[in-house]
Amino acid sequence: MAPNQVSDPVPLVNSLDSIYSKAGVLKNGKRWDDLASKFADAYDGLKPDFIARAPGRVNLIGEHIDYVGFSVFPAAVEKDILMATKVTLAPAGGSSDSVEVVLKNTTTRFAETSFTSRYDSVDGVQLLNSGDSRWANYFKVAFKGLHSHLPSSVLDASNPSRPVRIQVLVDGTIPPESSLSSSAAMTTCSSIVILESFSARSLIDRKEMAEVAIESERLVGVNSGGMDQSASIFGIPDHALYISFYPELSVEPTKLPQSDTEHTFVIVNTLVVSDKKVTGPVNYNLRVVETRMAARALAKGLGLGSGNGCKDLRGVLETYFAENGGVGRLELEIENSGAVKETLEKSGEEAARIKVLEEKVESLYHDDTLKAGLTRQQVEELTGYSGEEFDKEFLSSFPIRADKFELYKRSKHVFTEALRVLQFRSLCNSPSPDVYRQLGSLMDDSQSSLRDLYNCSCDELNTVIDIAKRNGSLGSRLTGAGWGGCTVHLVPKKKVEVFISAMRTQYYAKRFEGKGLSEDELNDACFDTKPAGGACVYKV
């Protein structure tokens, strides 16, 4: 390995077999071939140097807990973003202090756009708040985020491979704002294009890439967790990913259990668009803030003080055990609670610690008044933060709008969902004959919690889930942030046809009555999926 090269860079692939299933190769092969000719049409006959790819993801379980620090269980999907790219270097002897990025999209909805940045500073790169060039923000934030991670030798004038122009043609199959994470795929793919264009792909490893992509995406205005970028970067065919964020980002590829009957995950898009950038103040970002308030309230209730460690619910759990004698504390808790003891026996120590905190939540919000939505004044009393301190702690990062804050319901969801992820993982790792029924039941419980405690389901999501449960699904839940977008269903392979046909007649035909959806639109909205490979670069 050459000096400075990392051991785990975004891989270079030379065949689509390492990305897609057999059916996926058939489906996507022509698309890849066509992209080069579309690139030539878009850029005066030029040929791309490489194609970067980043997939979307479906989350199997563990919703709205990544930004709180708990582990999640997604898989990368075959739907993805491709960026065909041509890099132009400064002519020999010539010099430039900046690089121009030209962005075109095969979908006309996204207007052609470009921006220029100096090599030594990205401060001049402005994000757009509106207009049909706004999609360039994903590329811009990737550039801004990555800039400080690029070694100075890459940006320095002494580097003969510094690009003066990067021309990109984007082609995506992930429906936008549908909770399959087209945004994270855009940020991730853009980061890879930048790395490859500056010949720096082998200088930054995938973990750092994921961390940068997570930070970068927050610049777009969403207080997002790290699940999507990590799933997009670390996807492996046929594996789900157990992704942990504590004490640091780590990814454990996990095979779904073997069984006599084949099972699959079917994705059903409600086709209700939920744009987090627009609804953030009342939906996604508000939930992030509520969980932070809940963390401070729980920390105060447990007498843990207001250190940085307690800013999220995972931090509260860790601080509680660290300050109260670790394992010894757990032993004490077991003596006091049969449920904790049972959780320890069934699902291990980490699960038992989560169960302890779930019980602390019940004690803190011990009556119905506290369990209901709370006014700012009540939250001030519970958290110990008031006035300007309250504004700074909870209201300064992203704008939110709310009269009431649901701290009990959000905390209860977080701890029960975190526990379900661990149970899901142990079922996958030591399967029993009934494993798929048990996995399905965890998915159903997750959905109930998202609907009733996290309030992020909606009528259409509930309708699709009801239809699914009547037509062969063992477990059905919304996937991603919710409030629309997609659902995921665990279905025995032999029931998939019936399942999809029921969705078509009972959901799509009714919802789009009169307008009708084409066969392609229907295939795109409701489909059987397999875990796919992660982000990569393909040299043309």
The residues annotated as belonging to the active site are: 228
Candidate list 48, 54, 64, 487; residue touching ligand NG1; CB under 6 A? 64
Measure Cα distances from 285 to 12, 105, 308, 358 in Å: 36, 29, 20, 23
Question: How many residues interact with ligand NG1 (rule CB under 6 A)?
Answer: 18
Is 222 a residue that touches ligand NG1 (CB under 6 A)? yes
- The rounded distance, in Å, linking the Cα atoms of 174 and 183 is 9
Is 449 a residue that touches ligand NG1 (CB under 6 A)? no
Is 285 a residue that touches ligand NG1 (CB under 6 A)? no
Q: Least distance in Å: CB of 449 to ligand NG1?
A: 12
Residue numbers 145-184 binding ligand NG1 by CB under 6 A: 179, 181, 183-184
Is 10 a residue that touches ligand NG1 (CB under 6 A)? no
Three-state DSSP class for residue 288: helix
Nearest to 136 by CA among 91, 79, 182, 187: 187
- The rounded distance, in Å, linking the Cα atoms of 76 and 74 is 7
Closest-approach residue to ligand NG1 (CB) = 480
The conformational region for residue 131 under phi > 0 = left, psi -120 to 50 = alpha, else beta, is left
- Residue 247: is the preceding peptide bond cis (ω within 30°)? yes
What is the per-residue binding string for ligand NG1 in 477-506, x denoting contact by CB under 6 A? ---xx-------------------------
State both tokens at 471: 């037509």
Candidate list 215, 217, 312, 358; residue touching ligand NG1; CB under 6 A? 217
Residue placing its CB nearer to ligand NG1 in the complex, 179 or 319: 179
Is 529 a residue that touches ligand NG1 (CB under 6 A)? no
What is 235-285 written as a DSSP string?
Answer: --TTEEEEEE-SSS-EEEEEEPPP-SS-EEEEEEE------HHHHTTTTHH
Residue placing its CB nearer to ligand NG1 in the complex, 225 or 475: 225
Candidate list 173, 224, 270, 476; residue touching ligand NG1; CB under 6 A? 224
Q: What does the DSSP 8-state code read for residue 505?
A: I
- The rounded distance, in Å, linking the Cα atoms of 206 and 535 is 9
Nearest to 67 by CA among 384, 286, 234, 371: 286
Only segment of 56-64, 397-405, 436-444, 524-532 that touches ligand NG1 (CB under 6 A): 56-64
Is 379 a residue that touches ligand NG1 (CB under 6 A)? no
Candidate list 9, 24, 175, 225; residue touching ligand NG1; CB under 6 A? 225
Only segment of 79-87, 216-224, 427-435, 440-448 that touches ligand NG1 (CB under 6 A): 216-224
Q: Least distance in Å: CB of 311 to ligand NG1?
A: 17
Q: What phi and psi, each to the nearest 5 degrees, are found at residue 176?
A: -65, 150
Query: Are the C-beta atoms of 203 and 5 separated by less than 8 Å?
Result: yes
- Footprint of ligand NG1 on this chain (CB under 6 A)? 59, 63-64, 66-67, 179, 181, 183-184, 217, 222, 224-225, 227-228, 276, 480-481
